[in-house]
Structure formats: structure tokens, C-alpha cells
Amino acid sequence: MEGILITTQKALHLLVTGDQELWSIVILSFSVSLKAIVLTTPPAMLVAYSLVNGNFPGKRVILAVFNSLLSVPTVVIGLFLYVMLTRQGPFGDLRLLFSQTAMVIGQILLCFPILVALGFATINAADRRVRETSITLGAPWWYTILTVLYEVRFGLLAAVLTGFGRIISEVGISMMVGGNILGYTRNITTAIALETSKGEFAQGIALGIVLLALAFVLTTFLTYVQGKQGMSK
């Protein structure tokens, strides 16, 4: 018990004193995951909108595929990407393995189905009159899409926050295609795994506190957003 207390004290000390190594890991985590979520959101929302309002064959099958991809383990995505990016793989010449770019690509693969599935549910629940009103008032198709997305923005923001929470806390992809290189590809989750395996718990606990704080902030914000959504109806 005393050991845990001392380690937690050390962890808090690392956080409070602004330990450079620890905070560089935190910044790298946020940088990679923010890039991934920013690059994923627009195309995922377009796909979700098309699945709701488009009139083409195979819509249900595509939706079923995205829903199935929600439960794919991150290590499987990591393995798939590793095979693609390894020297002998089809994209080996790009030399992306063990880079932040590879981590971003992996996180995009992870959160794309999440954003499509949650985006679909949100847009599908949108009032049908929004689209009809926009069309009848002469809006071009792309403005109608923006109008519908704006009207359900709180639900979509909740979807994006959920996706962000998922990718910043994943470990499988980052470990396999990032390689856990200090100062380059080591993020919060891979650092926790490494420090724990070394028996150095202080940094792991400090990083765990950062992740828990993030989870708390995201959940609080989600609750606030859902409250706003409820009020705007």
C-alpha cells in the first residue's frame, strides 16, 4: 500500500513539475489523434449523409459492414497496416512504418467506421423537413448537406468526441505501426505499456491520470452537448 502511495506521489510530482519527457508524450498523443479525427470527420460525415439520403443499391450492406467494423480489435488494424507498410508490403516504398503518419493512418482506419455509424444514427434521426426546406428554398445540394449537418451538430459533435476518445486511448495500432520510439512515436498508451513492463510505475500512473482526466473532460462535455441538443429540439 505504501508503495502505491509513493508511486502516486511521484506520478503527481511528474505532472505538476512539468516533466519534459512526460508532457512531450502527451503532446504527441494529442497531435496524432487530433490529425486523425480532423482528417476523418468530413469524409465520414459525407458517407453517413449519403447512406441516409442517397438512393443507391447496397446501402444496407455498406451500413452493415461499417457496423461490423466497430468491433474490430485495434491490434488487427495494426497488423493489417503493418503488413501493408512493411518493407515487403505493397506500400513499403513509402517508408511509413514506425512513423507518426502510420499512427495517424491507423487511427483513421479505427475511427472512420465509428464516425460513419454514429453519424448515420444522428443524421437518420434528423427532422426530414430540414432537407426538404433547404431544397425548396433553392439551396444547392452541398449547402443542403451543410444545413442538415448543422441542424444536428450537437449529435455529430458527440460522435466526434466519442471517436476521439476511442483513438487517443487505443494501444494496439500505435504499438504495432508506431514502434514506441521515444520522442517520435511514443504516445500515452504505448508509454504506459512500456513503463509498466519495466516496473516503472510513476510515469505510467501519471500518463494514466492524463487519460482519465481526458475521459472525464470528454464525458462532461458530452453530457453538456447532449443537454444542449435536448434543449434545441
Partner 1 sequence: MIQPLVVFRGIEKTFAEAKILRNVDISLYPGKCILLTGNNGSGKTTLLKIIAGLETPSHAEIAFSGKTQSWKNTIRSVQKEIIYLHQQPYLLSGTVESNVSYGLRFTSLNRKQIRELVKEALEWAGLANVAKNQAKTLSGGVQQRVAFTRAWILNPKVLLLDEPLANMDIESREQALDLLKRMKSDGMSIVITSHDANIIDGLIDSHFSLSDGKLD
Which DSSP category does 126 fall into?
S
**Using rule CB under 8 A, residue 139 touches partner 1:** yes
Stretch that binds partner 1, among 96-104, 138-146, 163-171, 215-223 (CB under 8 A): 138-146
| Site for partner 1, residues 77 to 136, rule: CB under 8 A | 127, 129-130, 132-136
Q: H-type helices in 95-178, by residue range?
A: 100-124, 128-136, 141-151, 153-168, 172-173
Q: Among residues 143 and 184, whose Cβ is nearest to partner 1?
A: 143
Cell of 111: 475511427
Q: Measured from the CB of residue 189, what is the shortest distance to partner 1 in angstroms? A: 38
By beta-carbon proximity to partner 1, the closer residue of 50 and 169 is 50
Nearer to partner 1, 126 or 188 (CB): 126
Residue 58, judged by CB atoms within 10 A of its CB (0-12, 13-18, 19+), counts as exposed
* Number of residues assigned to the chain: 233
| Region of residue 112 (left: phi > 0; alpha: psi -120 to 50; beta: else) | alpha
Site for partner 1 in 173-232 (CB under 8 A): 232
- Contact positions toward partner 1, by CB under 8 A? 127, 129-130, 132-140, 143, 147, 150-151, 232
